[in-house]
Chain A
Amino acid sequence: KAGVTQTPRYLIKTRGQQVTLSCSPISGHRSVSWYQQTPGQGLQFLFEYFSETQRNKGNFPGRFSGRQFSNSRSEMNVSTLELGDSALYLCASSLDGKNTEAFFGQGTRLTVV
């Protein structure tokens, strides 16, 4: 079956702009989580969506938001981009998000200039 798909793979944005990233989970998976990966901070949890509802949230400012659609596809939005938002954004899907294996996408590399 198809894996987790993230689009786009690469993005370059300027400070102050906003960006939307997309994640299509594995078919049948209802939980989608987002992570920010940077060399300095490693993998940091952003938020998790399950059945179109945000179920958990990490310690990121309100500029970071997301949503999930009825087909479990998820989008992540970052508004008023800052240079420090440059990172690899990973999406992971799992059946129910509760202690089950998480499958990761290839990520979206966001560069803010």
Chain B
Amino acid sequence: AQRVTQPEKLLSVFKGAPVELKCNYSYSGSPELFWYVQYSRQRLQLLLRHISRESIKGFTADLNKGETSFHLKKPFAQEEDSAMYYCALVPYGQNFVFGPGTRLSVLP
């Protein structure tokens, strides 16, 4: 069965420090992967998707098929990055499978 794991429930870093939010998936096919973010009192919104290979708000994510990972990275964390981050997999022809989420807290 398809599954997404995010090993850290909470990740705290200091402002200006690098941050990496881990995401691993299990899927035998070619994956479509996304990162969604939910800021306090806001709706869940797309941060980035792997096929676009773009950087949003300084975040990047690289798909590593060998390690079945799609970790989210940012070299210098900002306080406004504090939010809940969800990694999501879309198996072919199916709907989103979300990971449990990681709460990122960026400390001043």
Contact code string B7-49 (vs A, CB < 8 Å = 1, else 0)? 0000000000000000000000000101010000001111001
Chain A contact residue count (CB 8 A cutoff):
23
* Complex Cα–Cα for A101 and B46 (A): 7
Q: Give B58-88 interface residues, CB cut-off 8 Å to A.
A: 86
A43 to B45 alpha-carbon distance, docked (Å): 14
Q: Pick the most buried of B90, B96, B97, B99: most chain A CB atoms within 10 A of its CB.
A: B96
Cβ of A26 under 8 Å from chain B: no
Interchain CA distance A35-B36 in the complex, whole Å: 14
With A104-B44, A104-B45, A105-B43 as known contacts, state yes or no: A42 contacts B99, CB within 8 Å. yes
Docked Cα-Cα span, A101 to B50, in Å, equals 12
Chain B, interface residues (CB within 8 Å), range: 20 to 34
Within 8 A of B (CB), among A88-105: 90, 92, 97-99, 101-105
Whether the Cβ atoms of B101 and A56 lie closer than 8 Å is no
| Pair B100/A42 contact, Cβ less than 8 Å | yes
Instruction: Give the distance in Å from the alpha carbon of A16 to the alpha carbon of B44 in the complex.
Output: 30
Q: Which residue of A lies closest to B94 (CB)?
A: A56
Residues of B within 8 A of A (CB): 32, 34, 36, 43-46, 49, 86, 90, 92-101
Additional 13 contacts, C-beta under 8 A, given A45-B96, A99-B32, A101-B34: A4-B43, A35-B96, A43-B101, A58-B95, A90-B44, A92-B44, A99-B90, A99-B92, A101-B49, A103-B45, A104-B44, A105-B43, A106-B43
In the A-B complex, the 7 residue pairs with the smallest Cβ-Cβ separation, listed nearest first, are A43-B98, A104-B44, A42-B100, A99-B32, A104-B43, A106-B43, A56-B95
Return 20 A-B CB contacts under 8 Å, by A number: A3-B43, A35-B98, A42-B86, A43-B96, A43-B98, A45-B95, A56-B94, A56-B95, A92-B96, A97-B95, A98-B93, A99-B32, A99-B90, A99-B92, A102-B46, A102-B96, A103-B45, A103-B46, A105-B43, A106-B43
